[in-house]
Amino acid sequence: MDQKDDRLVPDMGVRVSFLSTRPKAEARPVPGVLVPADAVVVEKGPLEKSWNVVFVVADGRAQKRSVQLGNFEGSKFKLVTEGLKAGETVVVAPPAELKEGSNVVNKE
């Protein structure tokens, strides 16, 4: 080293990172829709089977949809890859008594 630095002493440990000159792989968009995590409800059926559903608001009524979830890192949102289209309105934190066809009032 050309310049002496008093902060560096013999047998001192350091952590070194080298920046790569190679570009990172391009991120590919994952097809799907992000929804609030509490819009997704796990329904249990016979023989310990379960599936994910969301309630969609259409014409002022609730429609129950079975959905498939993809991998998404985060606790506030879930990635729905099947069963929901972008732009559809979902019920967030649906009450247990909400059923298919129930009247729903949109509170944005």
Tens-place pLDDT, residues 15-68: 777 777 776 666 677 789 999 999 999 998 888 889 999 999 999 999 999 999
Domain count, the chain: 1
Q: What is the CATH number of the domain that holds 38?
A: 2.40.420.20
Q: For the segment 70-99, what is each residue's pLDDT rounded down to a tens digit? A: 988 788 999 999 999 999 999 999 999 999
Whether the Cβ atoms of residue 69 and residue 52 lie closer than 8 Å to each other: yes
Calculate the dihedral angle through the C-alpha atoms of 107, 79, 62, 58, rounding to the nearest 10 degrees: 80
Domain assignment present for residue 26? The answer is: no
| pTM score, whole prediction | 0.69
Across 1-28, average pLDDT = 73
Is residue 5 in a domain? Answer: no
- For residue 59, what are the domain limits? 33-90
Compute how many other C-beta atoms are within 10 angstroms of the C-beta atom of residue 104: 19
